[in-house]
Structure 1
Amino acid sequence: MGDNSVVISVSETTDTRENGRLTPLTRINQIAPTQVVDAAQLNYRRPATRFTSKLAIILFFTHLVTASILILFLSVRGFLSRSPSFHPARWFTSLLTSAVASILVAILWPLLVLRYPAKALRAALLLAPSLAVGVAVLLLADDGGGSLASAVLFLALALVLILYCCWITRRLRHAEEILSAAGASVRPTLVLAKYLGLALLAGLVYFSFWTLGAGGLAAGGASRFAALYVLLLLLSLGWTMQAIRYVVHVAVAQLAYARLAWGTEVAVPTAFDTAAMRVLGQVCFGSAAVPVVVTARVAAQAMGSVAGDSDEFLFSCSSCFMGVADRLVTLVNRWGFVYVAVHRQGLGGASAEIWELFVKQGMDKLIDLDLTGPFCFLCGVVGGGVSAMVAGPWVLEAGEGHVAEATVYAFAVGYFMTRIAMAWPQACVAAYHVVFAENPQNNEMGSCIRERMRQLQTSPN
């Protein structure tokens, strides 16, 4: 056994083998919290599907190479046919300044959540719609058609956020309690801050390179394929940033699970090595699949809420769409990353296993009403709004006619940077749910989930 390993006593632990893996039935903290467990000891379950992992990695890095070629092509094309009204220095300075501002916001949010979860929740509820309105007003100050269309979208976003924030008011107390309880499992340390900073730096580096393509597209003027280029650039930015985000999510999930389930600690470098190297294929796959599934489920729930009990033809497919979305979330979900991190399972199998566990413990409704995901989205909107408010005025003052593009790109980088940082508390909550589902009788985790489940059982509304 390696020098960084410890012996785990099993004298008071009852385990069973099921499908070739070791599953703890009862858990007693038999290792001091200051000890570090070798990652090899945590992997009792079957390894991730090699073919799926390799295919996902190949597709992800092929996308990076293709995106790099497209960015270089657009930058050279834009430089050769640059419009006199386009000023590269002002364009790139505004976007890079917004990216730096987004890093500052991204660092602030998880610290605020872990220290003052109640204040962080209420701040997100207030700031997200307010900043969305602010971005819309900024865009309306420009007289371009693209700015007007973007302003309408941000106003619609602000309206939806206002309605949603009013709707979830009664669920805030449980959200505060679980953020506080789960966040305590992974406290801030200098080592963890270093790795989170490296993740944000990776996002900044890619965005800095990405702006070359966006700037070249803006400088080159009108093109038949401009809309397609913008779509491809945004998809590339989204997938890359999501991959960085889920590397952080998987690493922190391993740290939180080990602390909550076994009362042990995994070395932070080991956790990030697992996420960035050993299960990278599942991270690449999940970073593309999970956002799609979440978007489909949100759309299905919104359609179901609007349709109600109506049998009109317009809403005749809402129940079918909801069924498909519910099925997808059982196959691919962010809770599955916990077992990807700890047991190196494939994301599909891990998601299905964990969701089956949630259903068995009667936690499916609680999970469905969990506000951690929406809260992280609101934090992302705040980060995006701050970045857009930093970049937009620079381009607006120059009068270059590219206000909409610069504002939307700045909003995108602010959103993704904040989501990378917010993967920390979100992973802690995911691990908290999974550990509770494995052993609901564990009194060491507090009573917030049990109390919430009793409330849901006695009050269906």
Structure 2
Amino acid sequence: MEKGMVSSLADVPIGDSGSVEDGGCTTAARNIPISPAQVDATEVVYRRPTANFAARFAKILFFAHLVAVAILIIFLSLRGFLGRNPAFRPAHWFAPLLTAAVSSALVAILWLLFVLRHPAKVIKASLWLAPSLVCAVAVLLLTDGGSSSLAFAVLGLLLALVQSLYGCWIVRRLHHAYEILSISIAAVQPTTTLAKYVALALLAGLVFSSIWTLGAGGVAAGGGSRFAPLYVLLLLLSLGWTMQAIRYMVLVAVAQLAYLSLAFGTETAVPVAFEAAANGALGDVCYGSAVIPLVVAIRGTARAMGLIAGGSDEFLFSCASCYVGIADHLVVRGNRWGFVYARVHGKGLGNASAEVWEMFIKQGMGQLIDTDITSSLCFLSGVTGGGVAALVAGSWATAADKGHVTEATVYAFIIGYFMTRIAMAWPQACVAAYHVVFAENPQSRRMGPCIPTRLRELRSSPH
């Protein structure tokens, strides 16, 4: 199926069932009948990707890293517990962290259900829950009294302050965020099968994080080894890459379901989408899970520098524009929208990201994409999940043993954050697919007036 065919199929007459309500963003796209002769959904989902060295190398490196981290965890566990510091109590270490991991999985599931049923309330809740919970975690760390606890507590308070200010800054964008989130998640109907696959992804994250705590416990039990910071860094990098890979696997599969529904008004079997994501997109998932978070971080800091610098030509800000340009170039070659396009057209993530970004610019959607806060809301949701997990582990560790309160709290926060982000890959994938489908064919009557209305608002806005 060629690119032109994808666009033309989106123009198939849809009849009454595809009508859009005037003045709103609701649509009945998921109920639009379409004949098998018009589009072969299996062909779209199973389109084999082109040869991609970066994806193949990333996949090999990812599995090699899993083997290496397994060896490292075994080594750290044996080394730490055989020569264990008498002050280290395994029960006081593992019980809080494992309980926090399980609680974060439950929070992730409940939060996802909340998003699917009440997206507007979730947006509002995340804006005040995330900074409140982070502030509570910071207060908990202050009670520990150590220097590291103080450092993380100050960092937490700063994060809570930034999140609060950000919540005030994006007030004008919330209405559009609610509209596009509501209409896009409606394209993928919750089913028992889809819930099972998302639950399996969360279970995979739970199992890996539980095993990961063995290595972290080995470092804590080993006392003050000079290589301890290096071991912790390697463990954290492994945790981040693995959890991001699980998250993007869910995002790729759900994005295909949303794309087919929004572009063609048809559905495909959930197992088919996840199997295709695992077989055809695994290399791109491994590559993207390592590159995209880095690109997002660089672009975020670049935009912050740009806002601080403004039009200043002082030496302190002389490199701000250069840094922003580098960040903008990187996001073209690696972004989450590329996952949607990569699977549809069988391209590597880098080329797909570049093509879909060019398509956004061609359709005049650059500012809309820049001001989209879906990713930020998913981040705040992850912070909420991390805050709950950190409070569970930190409170338990404080009550049981004050020896490793800071480590248990911080590790629990990180695990809880990633677990919630895995669940939030579902709505984020739907929004990404909605953007891509609209960019492919803005005239499609399935899409509704949501994006055109927002584009008119942005063009008429003085800022």
1:245 to 221, 227, 247: 247
Structure 1 match to 2:398: 396
Structure 2 match to 1:95: 97
Structure 1 match to 2:24: none
Any conservation in 2 of the 1:29–1:262 contact (CA below 8 Å)?
no
2:281 to 279, 282, 290: 279
Structure 1 match to 2:161: 159
Helix, strand or coil: the match of 1:24? helix
Helix, strand or coil: the match of 2:446? helix
**Residues 247-288 of structure 1: CA deviation (Å, up to 9, x unaligned):** 000000000000000111011001000111221000000000
Structure 2 match to 1:32: 33
Any conservation in 1 of the 2:41–2:267 contact (CA below 8 Å)?
no
Any conservation in 2 of the 1:33–1:259 contact (CA below 8 Å)?
no
Any conservation in 2 of the 1:279–1:344 contact (CA below 8 Å)?
no
**Residues 336-362 of structure 1: CA deviation (Å, up to 9, x unaligned):** 000123233210011001000000000
Any conservation in 2 of the 1:214–1:233 contact (CA below 8 Å)?
yes
TM-score by length of 1: 0.93
Whole-Å Cα distance in 1 between the matches of residues 207 and 13 of structure 2? 42
Structure 2 match to 1:83: 85
User: Which stretch shifts more, 381-390 or 84-93?
Assistant: 84-93
Q: Percent identity?
A: 65
Change in 2 beyond 3 A, CA 1:138/1:43: closer
Q: How does 1:2-151 map to 2 (within 5 A)?
A: 22-25=5-8, 26-28=10-12, 32=33, 40-42=42-44, 47-151=49-153
Whole-Å Cα distance in 2 between the matches of residues 50 and 67 of structure 1? 26
**Residues 275-303 of structure 1: CA deviation (Å, up to 9, x unaligned):** 11221000000000000000000000001
Relative contact order (alpha carbons < 8 A, sep ≥ 6): 1 or 2 greater? 2
Change in 2 beyond 3 A, CA 1:133/1:44: closer
Change in 2 beyond 3 A, CA 1:350/1:455: same
Residue 371 of structure 2 corresponds to residue 357 of structure 1:
no
Helix, strand or coil: the match of 1:222? coil
Following superposition, the deviation at residue 44 of structure 1 comes to: 9.4
Helix, strand or coil: the match of 2:87? coil
Structure 2 match to 1:9: none
Whole-Å Cα distance in 2 between the matches of residues 143 and 233 of structure 1? 26
Please give the root-mean-square deviation of Cα atoms over the aligned residues, in Å.
Answer: 1.8
Whole-Å Cα distance in 2 between the matches of residues 450 and 360 of structure 1? 14
Whole-Å Cα distance in 2 between the matches of residues 306 and 140 of structure 1? 31
Any conservation in 1 of the 2:381–2:420 contact (CA below 8 Å)?
yes
Give 5+ residue unaligned stretches, structure 1.
Answer: 1-14
**Residues 50-76 of structure 1: CA deviation (Å, up to 9, x unaligned):** 422221111001111111111111111
Structure 2 match to 1:387: 389
Change in 2 beyond 3 A, CA 1:395/1:33: farther
Change in 2 beyond 3 A, CA 1:151/1:378: same
Q: How does 1:135-214 map to 2 (within 5 A)?
A: 135-214=137-216
Look up the equivalent residue of 1:28 and give its one-letter code: V
TM-score by length of 2: 0.93
Whole-Å Cα distance in 1 between the matches of residues 431 and 232 of structure 2? 35
Change in 2 beyond 3 A, CA 1:220/1:35: farther
Structure 1 match to 2:308: 306
How many residues are aligned here?
A: 444
Give 5+ residue unaligned stretches, structure 2.
Answer: 15-31
Following superposition, the deviation at residue 35 of structure 1 comes to: 7.5
Change in 2 beyond 3 A, CA 1:249/1:34: farther
Whole-Å Cα distance in 2 between the matches of residues 130 and 35 of structure 1? 51
Any conservation in 2 of the 1:242–1:287 contact (CA below 8 Å)?
yes
Q: How does 1:255-266 map to 2 (within 5 A)?
A: 255-266=257-268
Look up the equivalent residue of 2:176 and give its one-letter code: H
Any conservation in 2 of the 1:260–1:445 contact (CA below 8 Å)?
yes
Following superposition, the deviation at residue 386 of structure 1 comes to: 0.2
**Residues 37-94 of structure 1: CA deviation (Å, up to 9, x unaligned):** 7654216977233422221111001111111111111111111111112111121111
**Residues 79-111 of structure 1: CA deviation (Å, up to 9, x unaligned):** 111111211112111101001110111111222
Q: How does 1:287-298 map to 2 (within 5 A)?
A: 287-298=289-300
Structure 2 match to 1:270: 272
Whole-Å Cα distance in 2 between the matches of residues 120 and 204 of structure 1? 24
User: Which stretch shifts more, 234-243 or 307-316?
Assistant: 307-316
